[in-house]
């Protein structure tokens, strides 16, 4: 069956008040499958990602951030001054145009602009509004500000991240920001179906912290059932050994090895073929766990003689779970990802040509279409007003003079 280049969400219109990571990633998923997403921005307080590394040629600029470019492809950008009445009036026009309004500010921000759910429901009764904040819209800590790195600690991830003999460490990225968006997309699709059947809109309150907790549910279950809190294990696993990343011959190259069964261990022994590998203290999983430090040291002395890709091939060829620890360059050139069209070549007005990460899922008869790179700040202000909202040239010029736009 041949692919049909038809946008599955074509006709769905989204007023996007989001910024940083969680909200823009939600709207990016929707935009890549055909929804028209209008991102409301301000040069006075730009999206934090517009000021975040990496920058094109290491030169900072509001339109030069690679991080922003990744999260905002296929969107339109309008610059509005929401602190003034004319700008808020344009925002209300956008809400009247939209099917969905999405925001991820600290609770209360939209209300201060007169754009909370109760306000916009008066403008458009069947509007769907998704609000996703750190800890939800209600509760004693709902208005506590924060970003993904804060939620890593609040959600419990940091406690389990690191080595047993060291303090907890961060993830090096806002990991929880990647968890909430799939939940949000499912909620929005369900709400669109509900509106189609009933004609009613919906307010969706998505707590990023609560979605993140789902990802440490085994630890919560262990405590609930066994009263055990657990702790940091580094790369190790309580029911596997060896289980970690081991050094290889090339500079800063590593290959992971994970052995869980007696059969895998026996195959590993046949490959290593060193006297120490048959030591009785390593013969069982309990023995290998008791002597894990020594085991890892000896395995490292063996793996350092191989290139990472060579070692992975030897291990996988014997049915032993293993994999190369890849750099960004190696991920980008991975033939599997290239075959699946995982990277889209886009040409940004300021950044220039770059590889943009596409969608990790496929439909049989519909595919995501890379329409356009991330917009420059306020790039589509006139287009949105004139073409989508139906403003006359005179009305647009009048709003421009009134200070409604912030570009």
Sign, Cα dihedral of 278, 283, 285, 286: negative
Residue 39 per-residue DSSP state: E
Residue located via tokens 């990602």: 49
Q: Kindly give the pairing relationship between strand 254-258 and strand 322-324.
A: antiparallel
Instruction: From 349, 31, 50, select the one nearest 181 (Cα to Cα).
Output: 31
34: left (phi over 0), alpha (psi -120 to 50) or beta: left
In 3D space, the residue among 407, 349, 347, 402 whose CA is nearest the CA of residue 382 turns out to be: 407
Choose the catalytic residue: 119, 177, 193, 273.
177
What span, in angstroms and rounded, lies between the C-alpha atoms of 336 and 332?
Answer: 10
* Contact residues for 36 (Cβ-Cβ < 8 A; gap 6+): 12, 13, 14, 76, 388
DSSP secondary structure letters along 250-299: STT-EEEEE--SHHHHHHHHHHH--GGGG-GGGSSHHHHHHTHHHHHHHH
| Pick from 254, 269, 251, 252: nearest CA to 309 | 254
Nearest one of 95, 90, 105, 94 to 48, comparing CA atoms: 105
DSSP 177-226: GGTHHHHHHHHHHHHHHHHHHH---EEEEEEHHHHHHGGGHHHHHHHHHH
The answer to whether 192 and 12 are in contact (CB under 8 A) is yes
**And the tokens for 108?**
């209360």
Helix (H) / strand (E) element for 78: namely strand 76-79
**Is 177 an annotated catalytic residue?**
yes
**Cα 115 from Cα 158, distance rounded (Å):** 36
User: Any idea which residues carry the catalytic annotation?
Assistant: 177
């Amino acid at each position: 069956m041949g692919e049909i280049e038809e946008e599955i969400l074509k006709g769905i219109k989204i007023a996007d008040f989001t910024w940083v990571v969680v909200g823009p990633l939600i709207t990016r998923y929707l935009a890549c499958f055909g929804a028209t997403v209008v991102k409301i921005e301000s040069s006075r307080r730009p999206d934090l990602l517009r000021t975040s590394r990496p920058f094109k040629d290491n030169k900072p600029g509001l339109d030069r951030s690679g991080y922003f470019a990744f999260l905002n492809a296929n969107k339109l950008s309008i610059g509005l001054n929401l602190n003034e009445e004319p700008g808020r009036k344009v925002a209300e026009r956008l809400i009247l145009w939209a099917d969905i309004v999405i925001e991820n500010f600290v609770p209360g921000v939209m209300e201060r602009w007169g754009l909370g759910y109760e306000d916009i429901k008066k403008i458009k009764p069947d509007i769907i509004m998704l609000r996703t904040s750190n800890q939800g819209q209600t509760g004693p800590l709902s208005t506590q500000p924060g970003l993904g790195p804060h939620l890593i600690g609040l959600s419990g991830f940091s406690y389990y991240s690191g080595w047993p003999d060291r303090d907890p460490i961060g993830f090096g990225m806002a990991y929880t920001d990647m968890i909430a968006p799939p939940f949000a997309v499912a909620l929005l699709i369900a709400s669109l179906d509900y509106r189609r059947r009933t004609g009613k809109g919906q307010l969706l309150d998505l707590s990023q912290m609560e979605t993140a907790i789902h990802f440490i549910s085994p630890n919560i279950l262990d405590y609930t059932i066994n009263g055990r809190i657990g702790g940091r294990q580094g790369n190790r696993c309580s029911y596997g050994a060896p289980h970690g990343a081991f050094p290889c011959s090339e500079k800063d190259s590593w290959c992971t090895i994970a052995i869980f069964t007696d059969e895998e261990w026996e195959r590993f022994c046949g490959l290593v073929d060193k006297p120490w590998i048959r030591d009785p203290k390593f013969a069982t999983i309990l023995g290998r766990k008791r002597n894990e430090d020594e085991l890892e040291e000896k395995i490292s002395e063996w793996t350092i003689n191989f290139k990472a890709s060579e070692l992975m091939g030897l291990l996988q060829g014997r049915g032993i779970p293993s994999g190369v620890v890849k750099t960004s360059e190696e991920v980008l050139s991975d033939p599997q990802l290239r075959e699946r069209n995982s990277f889209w070549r886009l040409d940004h007005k300021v950044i220039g040509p770059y590889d943009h990460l596409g969608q990790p899922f496929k439909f049989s008869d519909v595919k995501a279409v890379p329409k356009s790179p991330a917009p420059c700040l306020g790039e589509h202000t006139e287009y949105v007003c004139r073409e989508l909202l139906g403003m006359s040239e005179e009305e647009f010029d009048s709003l421009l003079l009134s200070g409604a736009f912030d570009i």
